[in-house]
Structures are given as C-alpha cells and as structure tokens.
Chains A and B, each alone.
Chain A
Amino acid sequence: MRKALELTLGVLTAVGGFVDIGELVFAVQAGVKYQYLLLWSLLVGTIGIILFSEMCGRVAAVTKKPVMDLVKQTLPKKIALTILIFSSLLNGLTCAAELGGVAIAFQLLIGIADTPAIILTFVLLTGVIWVFPFKVIEKLFGLCGLALCVFIVVAVTTRPDAGQLASGLIPKLPSANLQDILIYFYFALGLISSSMMPYEVYFYASGGIEDHWTPKDLNVNRVTAGVGMTLGGLLAMALVVAASQLFGPIGLLPQLHGTSALMAVIPFGRTGLFFALVGIIFAVGGAAVETSLAGAYNIAQYFGWKWGRYTRPEVTPLFTVTWLLILVVAFVIIMFDIDPIQLAEYAIVFSVVVLPFTYYAVLKTSSDASQMGKHKNSRVITILGWIYMVIVVVIALAAIPLMILTNMGKG
C-alpha cells in the first residue's frame, strides 16, 4: 500500500497534465469530430511524457538538479532567461485558466454564483498549498483526481469496437479537403503538446527533489512516471472514446468543459455526475497547483533562492511570495471574466514553443556520463529521446501557423 501511495506524484502530474481544462474540451471535441482517428496522437504524447518524465526524475534523483537548472547549464544564458520568462508567463496564464475551470466545476456541483465560486477556489487552493507539505498536496490531488476514472468506466460501458480502437492508434489522414486536414493536424498537435506541457516536467522533477529522491529511488521514478503518465493517457483516451460514442451520434460538439461531465450522467445519472465533477475539481485544481508551483520552482531555481514545499512557507520566503503572486495574478485575470478555455488553448499552443528547449536540456544532461555516471541514458532511450526531439521541433514550428490558418481549429 505504501509503495502504491508513492506513485501519487506521477498520478498528480499526469492527471493535472492530461486532464486539465483545455483537454476536457479539446479531447472531447477530437472524439466527436474524428471518432478514434486521433487516438494515435495521445499515444505519441503519452510515450513522450513517460520518456522525458523518467529522464528528468532520474536526473533529479542522481544530481539533485531540477529541470530549470538543466536549462540554465545547457543553454546559452540569454536563451535560458527567455525560456524562464516565457514559461513563467505561460504558467501564469495556464494557472488562471485552471483556476477558472475549478470555479466552474464548483458552480455546477454546489450551485454558487460566478464570483463566490472564483473566490472560494482561490482561497481553497492558496490554503491547501500554504498549509500542507508537498507529500500531502500530491496525495490529496493525485488520489482524489482518480475520481475521473469514471470516464474510463463510461468509455468501457459504451462498448467501443476494439478493431476501430486499435486502428485509431495508427496515424492516418481523414478523407477531407485541405482546410479540414489542417484542422485535423491542429487537433493532433494540440493533443500531443497538451500531454507534454513543459510545466509537467518542471513540476515532476522538482517534486522528486521535494520527495528527497536519491539513486535508490530510481525504480520508484520509473514506475511513477510509467504508471502515472499511462493513467493520464488512458483518461484522455477515455474522453475521446466516450465523446465519440455518446456525443458524436447526436452531433454535440462541446464548447464548455462542464459538458464532459454529461458523458458520465448518461449511463450513471447523479452518481456519475458527482464523480465526474469531483474528479474535474481535483484534476483541474491539481493542474492549478502544478502551474503555480512550477512557476515558482523555475524562478526560485533560476535565481538560486531556497525553494520547496517540504518545509514551512516562512522558511522559503521568496519562493512562497512567488507562488502566491502567480495565484493572485491568475485570480485577477479570471475575475476579468476571461474565457478560461480560450486562455488554456492559447497557453497550450504557445507552450509548444518552449518544449524543444526544455526537452533538449533534459535529454542532453541525462545522456551525459560525467554528470549521471552509470545512470546515464541507455542507447535505446537516447535514440527515442532524439526521435521525440524531432517531433517536438516540428510541433513547435507548426503550432502558431496552424493556429492562425485554422482559426484555432474552428475553420
């Protein structure tokens, strides 16, 4: 049981990464528009995030260096600083989107108005990060986020065709005109990049250090990255499958993240709704915690401040002020009545630009025998890592042009 509980860092990272507010709309829309045709992109994203989480967790356990340290030591100073600024902005935007997403889920669950829901969410998230140490935070959000497994059960109860599911795991183009093919690629790109958001590896590696990982914990890291991220990938695939089966035939293309909860209502009524909304609150709340802490980790690590939630907030004053500030900025943004889903979509597309730099720093360090010793990447992992580097570079180059050409996937 204790061993199983150690996996919660991976579960929190994955649930918050894969099933955040953007994914709850994006994956469901992908299922309605393309049935199972885009499952391959979630498979690519899941393998990619397992690969790089394992690498950065291993580096953290062996060298005690979090990802921002790797970016700083591997890339030229100006580029590292640019990455810090860009990723901090994106963490703030993503945090705002997630905070808005939790507030809406609270509204749907307990029936409170907009502003009180946002205030309640802000106070609860700030209180949880302030009061609880990292180990409790990861277990709380990781375990309660598992309520989202209701979507896996929903997907299974819809009895999807196994042959079609399997064929969805192999990339193929839909038969459509050029504009629709571009939209298909925009969705594929969105699904891959939202599975591999940079904040996930920043958070995961820092979390490993918070959990005091040493080389003795490399197996825990391997299993945590593997099991956690696979679960995240399965949840996202379940959303695609359930949407394709339940919403596709009636022509419902969701625009709001609360709509995904309806998929659990159809087979399971109020109980399904409860599990779906509680799961959304903890998964999207987990993503808000991840982004606010990842932002603070990055800034503190870059400037060499004392950081971590393993200790009391007053022991790490600058770090504490930074994550508080990120949450406050997110709160202010969302109070301006900005659509959290659109915000999340912008954040996903722009995060893609940071991906190659972040992952290059992780790949380079984890392959370096002088830093990693006998724990450096095996030949297979290095080759896979470089294949993924090519994929993320292509995605980074295509992201913004595709966003413009497809009018954010709307055609």
Chain B
Amino acid sequence: MQHKTQFIVGILIAVITAAAILITQTNSEQPLTNHDLHQQLSDLNSFAVEVSLMLDQYKQDKLDFNYLKYQAQKIDKNIDDFYSQLESTTVDASQKNDLSSVETLIFQFGLQLKFIESSQGDAAKLNQIRQSIQQLHQQITESEQHYA
C-alpha cells in the first residue's frame, strides 16, 4: 500500500510538472504573429543595447576583454536560439518577408558577436564592430516599432 501511494504521488508530481512545462512550451510554438516578431525584436534590441554598452565601457578601459568575449558568446548563443525558434515557426506566405527581414537582422547581429569573440581585444576592430552594432541597433529599433 505504502509503495503504491509513493508511486502514485511520484507519477502525479511528474505529470503536473511536465504538463506545466508543455503548456508553456506549446505557447511559444503557436503560428507566428506580429506580437511574436515584436517580442523577438525587443529581446534583440535589448541585447544590442547591452553589447553597445559593453563596447563603450571597453573603449573607456573600464571592462576586461574576458567579460566582453564570454558575455558576447552567451548572447550569441541566445541569438542562435531566436534564429532556430523562428526557423521552426509555422508561417503563411504573406509572413515570409517579415520573417526573413527579422532573420537577417538576427544573422547580422550574430555575425558581429562572432567578430567580437575573434577580435582578441583589438581596439580598432572592436571600434568598427561598435559602429556596426550601433547601425544594427537603429534598424532593429525601426523594425521593432513596425511590429509594435
């Protein structure tokens, strides 16, 4: 009896946990909406602001390259996840252009992050990347406003 109860309690906890996680995940696998694109662009925008801030601090010699490199790597990983998430989303023909423009922004931003990682702290290269990120930030903001 005792073992049976333990077993049922265990199964119950596992089922509740799995159900909650599944419901949350399913939420993010709905067909693509403008709201989803806006959400992705908001996150991307926030990352662009963060990278700009880091590069500014690095330029002022207030930040170690270790931090810049590994934080850029973590952001890059998140960006890859955005990209994969969008790639796996169901879209109809009218949304293909929208999706592709957002994917391009994500790709270009990811590329700049990879440049940071491989820059070995070279101030000139990082300054160039900083300018590119600022331009990208502008484009991301415009795109974000479009889908708001």
- A residues sitting closer than 8 Å to B (CB atoms) are 78, 81-82, 85-86, 89, 104, 107-111, 250-256, 258-259, 261-262, 265-266, 269-270, 273, 277, 346, 350, 400, 403-404, 407-408, 410-411
Which chain B residue shows the least CB distance to A266?
B57
CB contacts (< 8 Å) of A250 on chain B: these are 49, 53
Contact indicator A269/B62 (Cβ below 8 Å): yes
Q: Which of B49-72 contact A (CB under 8 A)?
A: 49-50, 53-54, 57, 60-67, 69-71
Are B13 and A252 touching (Cβ within 8 A)?
Answer: no
Q: Closest approach, in angstroms, between the C-beta of B55 and any C-beta of chain A?
A: 12
Given known pairs A82-B9, A269-B62, the reply for A252 and B53 (CB within 8 Å) is: yes
User: Closest CB-CB distance, A336 to chain B, in whole Å?
Assistant: 14
Q: Are A253's CB and B42's CB within 8 A?
A: yes
In addition to A252-B50, A258-B67, A403-B20, 9 A-B residue pairs with Cβ atoms within 8 Å of each other are A82-B13, A104-B74, A111-B64, A111-B66, A255-B78, A270-B62, A273-B62, A277-B67, A350-B20
B residues neighboring A (CB under 8 Å): 5-6, 9-10, 13, 17, 20-21, 23-24, 27-28, 35, 39, 42-43, 45-47, 49-50, 53-54, 57, 60-67, 69-71, 74-75, 78
Partner of B13 from the list A85, A107, A410 (CB cut-off 8 Å) is A85
Q: A267–B17 Cα gap in the complex (Å)?
A: 43
Residues of B contacting A252 in the complex (Cβ-Cβ under 8 angstroms): 46, 49-50, 53
Cα A277 to Cα B66 with chains together (Å): 12
Chain B residues contacting A104 (CB-CB under 8 Å) are: 70, 74
On chain B, the residues within 8 Å of A277 by CB distance are 67
Q: 25 A-B Cβ contacts within 8 A?
A: A82-B13, A85-B9, A107-B70, A109-B67, A251-B46, A251-B49, A252-B49, A252-B50, A255-B43, A255-B47, A255-B78, A259-B50, A259-B71, A261-B67, A262-B54, A265-B62, A265-B63, A269-B57, A269-B62, A269-B63, A270-B62, A270-B64, A273-B64, A404-B20, A408-B24
Nearest 5 Cβ contacts at the A-B interface: A111-B66, A269-B62, A253-B46, A252-B49, A107-B70
